[in-house]
Homo-oligomer: A and B are copies of this chain.
Amino acid sequence: MAARRAGIVGTGLIGGSIGLALRARGWHVTGTDHDEGRAARALHLGALDAVGTDHEAEVTFVATPVGAVAGAVRAVLAGGDGVVTDVGSVKAPIVGAVDDPRFVGGHPMAGSEQEGVDGADPELFAGAVWVLTPVAGTDPSAHALVRSVVSSLGAEVLELSPEAHDTLVAVVSHVPHLTAAALMSVAAERAEDHRALLRLAAGGFRDMTRVAAGHPGIWPDICAENREAIVEALGALVASLEELRQRVSAADRDGLLGALERARRARLNLPPRIARAGDVVEVRVPVPDRPGVLAEITTLATELEVNIADLEIAHSAEGASGVVLLLVEADRAERLRGGLVARGYRPAVSPLE
């Protein structure tokens, strides 16, 4: 049996990790980088089988800096018939600029302080959330293919609209990164007068500023592409800090305690990083021949906090209609069914054989 073939454009930390992970699972991986030395290094490290472009690749991962993604995706789409996905940290501008049924936007929420292919790790995605942003125009089989490949790397797939993705990562990723840098700047400024400050920096401060040690090269792009959401979320953070400052200044003990208590409860309620493995049931959803059905079903599942353990599309013998088969946690199946019925679907829930 011939190996399945994948392409990678951009063999940095993420592209290299995808290459290592796919090759460990038997794929044949071909890749390029605009820096030829980096592609050669990826080949040397075993992240690629060959340097170059595989026009027959079943799926190609575009892992360039965010600003270059849309152009690279269009080039790959023009050069072959395969499915294309990307790993950019911002989705709406990219998805809007590509608009092709064979493209599925993606964003693995995984990273490392290391930089470049030398930091690549085939286990980087194990247990990580990998967001996909299918839209109405996305070919369901392209979506299902990317979902299954990404799942096979150990990631937990979560479908979101490109816009929701961008709003949310501004809050949980982009603004925290900028905040770590701001905290570090304030500390560094004070350290000019008091060198001892840096020796006082204990566990909490180190944890809070760790991401600031990452290479900043990717951030101007990210901030440019997700400007609006970042500016808004930074504004909300500044307002929240100003409120705390007022409370400290006014010695408002009760207000302070209340605010910290609410934050504590929210932090304790963060779901565990890896979805619970539990009983799963099958939800069969007959779907009409209408664009966007799979994107709608999967993003609805995300909204309803229903984790999709597996997904398959069974096409009917004739015509374009078919059945979407979802494996979901048993105790969430009824919730998903309710949501689907509300949207006009006729799902059936059944235990696994």
Binding site for B on A (CB under 8 A): 109-111, 128-129, 131, 158, 160, 164, 167-169, 171-173, 175-191, 194-217, 219-220, 223-224, 227, 230-231, 233-238, 240-242, 244-245, 247-249, 251, 253-254, 256-257, 259-264, 266-271, 273, 302-303, 305
Contacts and interface: CB of A to CB of B under 8 A. Distances in A.
A37 B134 CA distance: 58
A200 B231 contact: no
Query: Which applies to chain A's interface (DSSP): helix, strand, loop or mixed?
Result: helix
Contact of A303 (B172, B195, B215, B264): B195
A129 B197 CA distance: 11
5 contacts: A168-B194, A196-B302, A206-B270, A215-B264, A238-B241
Contact of A176 (B208, B217, B231): B208
What is the count of identical protomers in the complex? 2
A223 B240 CA distance: 16
Contacts of A203: 111
B200 A263 contact: no
A167 B196 CA distance: 11
A197 B168 contact: yes
Contacts of A302: 196
Contacts of A196: 158, 160, 164, 168, 302-303, 305
A171 B190 contact: yes
B169 A257 contact: no
A37 to B, nearest CB: 23
B183 A204 contact: no
A231 to B, nearest CB: 5
